[in-house]
């Protein structure tokens, strides 16, 4: 009975519980426990904030580089005849040039489109442009080209223009909508009456082949059926030269029933130094924010402050990354070499001629002019 009266005493229970707890914690270092309580949440926060960086840095471990391209040397000088230029490439000159079709999906890059079409205008037989009232991410947008069509009157007689009604599938992978729009562009190209062996340029608006490259390929025989173009990679303007690894632009000698508009690797042959890729080269800060939310890599906006106008302006002038990402490379050596901001270049040699002929309108694209209008 004495045992029963003791066990029913609340004070005794508390004493026994504390005794057991002391026994359990005997040998534990309270400093270690405190460090865990503070450290684990901090590690979780760092993984949330910088996990993408860790993934990109470790990319060489989990992803092998693609097979290297077979690079074709590119010869050009304005004083060399076309016959000799074709011969230098191992090709023969034609009696008449092929027709050239330049086909693009358009979002909102009015200035870059104007530079592109003026660069290519002497050599293009038909411009083909498709725009949608939907971004790849399913956000409604104006038909910017349609609203500014008068700006491109010089191309009107050679323009096949079409619109595509967006599907607005919320939560869908943006690449699905992009693929639907590329299929629609395929149909528009056929409406433009392209024929076998005509040249078809497949590239985004900001992937601009140089005019002399297209002129070479339309005048030479025995060129590859499909040929990727190596473009000089610029970010924000022609001040920040990143590398010469842009390759997605391609040239096709059209084959009915076989040629399909695509933006992935389609051959191993790459023509060196064939133009410019000016990515995120916008006049207005608002256009940067629009593209960040509109294109297929919208998942890179990890935090809302990435879209802050003051931050975007600061990033542009430093040559930093809008998404605060590490370089997308396949070796640790290449990743480490590209860490940090892109250094400025002060060369404006061999840029699109229309840009240099209209400096007052496009000064923001030239070295030393990183400040942008708000929009």
Give tens-digit pLDDT for 15-28: 676 776 566 556 66
Decide if 26 is inside a domain.
no
CA angle 257, 260, 265 (to 5 degrees): 135
Decide if 47 is inside a domain.
no
Tokens of 179: 């693929």
Euclidean distance between the first and the last CA atom of the chain, given in angstroms as a whole number: 88
pLDDT range class, residue 367, cuts 50, 70, 90: very high
Decide if 106 is inside a domain.
yes
- CB atoms closer than 10 angstroms to residue 54: 12
Q: SS3 of 157, please?
A: helix
Measure the CA–CA gap between 115 and 365, rounded to whole angstroms: 11
Domain that holds residue 238: 70-365
Residue 97: the pLDDT is: 98
| pLDDT tens-digit map of 147-184 | 999 999 999 999 999 999 988 777 788 888 889 999 99
pTM for this model (two decimals): 0.85
| Average pLDDT value for residue range 273-297 | 92
Decide if 162 is inside a domain.
yes
| More confident position, 340 or 33 | 340
Which secondary structure element, helix H or strand E, spans residue 177, and what is its range?
A: helix 174-191
| pLDDT for residue 341 is more than 60 | yes
| Average pLDDT value for residue range 87-100 | 98
Residue 5: the pLDDT is: 42
Task: Report how many domains make up the chain.
Answer: 1
Measure the CA–CA gap between 280 and 322, rounded to whole angstroms: 10
Decide if 330 is inside a domain.
yes
Decide if 34 is inside a domain.
no
Strands 207-209 vs 275-279: parallel, antiparallel or unpaired: antiparallel
DSSP 15: H
DSSP 368: T
Average pLDDT, the chain: 90
- Reference 302, options 108, 55, 107; nearest CA is 55
| pLDDT tens-digit map of 178-191 | 899 999 999 999 99
């Amino acid at each position: 009975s004495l045992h029963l009266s003791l066990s029913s005493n609340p004070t005794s229970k508390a004493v026994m519980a504390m005794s057991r707890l002391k026994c359990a914690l005997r040998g534990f270092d309270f400093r270690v426990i405190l460090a865990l309580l503070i450290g684990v949440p901090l590690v979780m926060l760092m993984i949330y904030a910088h996990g993408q960086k860790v993934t990109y840095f470790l990319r060489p471990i989990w992803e092998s580089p693609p097979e290297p391209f077979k690079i074709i040397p590119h010869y050009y000088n304005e004083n060399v005849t076309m016959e000799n230029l074709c011969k230098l490439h191992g090709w023969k000159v034609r009696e008449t040039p092929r027709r050239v079709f330049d086909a693009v999906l358009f979002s909102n890059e009015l200035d870059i489109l104007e530079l592109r079409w003026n660069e290519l205008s002497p050599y293009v037989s038909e411009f083909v442009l498709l725009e949608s009232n939907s971004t790849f991410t399913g956000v409604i947008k104006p038909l910017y080209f349609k609203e500014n069509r008068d700006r491109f009157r010089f191309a009107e007689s050679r323009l096949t223009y079409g619109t595509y009604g967006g599907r607005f599938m919320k939560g869908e992978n943006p690449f699905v909508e992009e693929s639907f729009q590329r299929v629609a562009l395929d149909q528009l190209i056929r409406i433009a009456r392209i024929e076998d062996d005509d040249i078809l340029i497949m590239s985004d608006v900001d992937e601009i082949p140089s005019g002399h490259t297209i002129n070479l390929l339309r005048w030479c025989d025995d060129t590859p059926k499909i040929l990727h173009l190596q473009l000089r990679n610029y970010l924000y303007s022609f001040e920040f030269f990143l590398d010469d690894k842009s390759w997605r632009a391609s040239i096709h000698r059209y084959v009915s029933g076989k040629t399909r508009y695509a933006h992935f690797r389609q051959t191993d042959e790459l023509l060196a130094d064939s133009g410019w890729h000016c990515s995120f080269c916008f006049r207005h800060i608002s256009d940067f924010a629009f593209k960040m939310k509109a294109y297929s890599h919208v998942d890179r906006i990890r935090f809302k402050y990435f879209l802050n106008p003051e931050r975007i302006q600061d990033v542009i002038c430093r040559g930093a990354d809008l998404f605060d990402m590490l370089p997308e490379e396949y070796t640790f050596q290449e990743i480490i070499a590209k860490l940090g901001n892109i250094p400025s270049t002060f060369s404006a040699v061999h840029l699109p001629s229309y840009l240099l002929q209209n400096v007052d309108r496009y000064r923001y694209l030239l070295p030393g002019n990183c400040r942008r209008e708000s929009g």
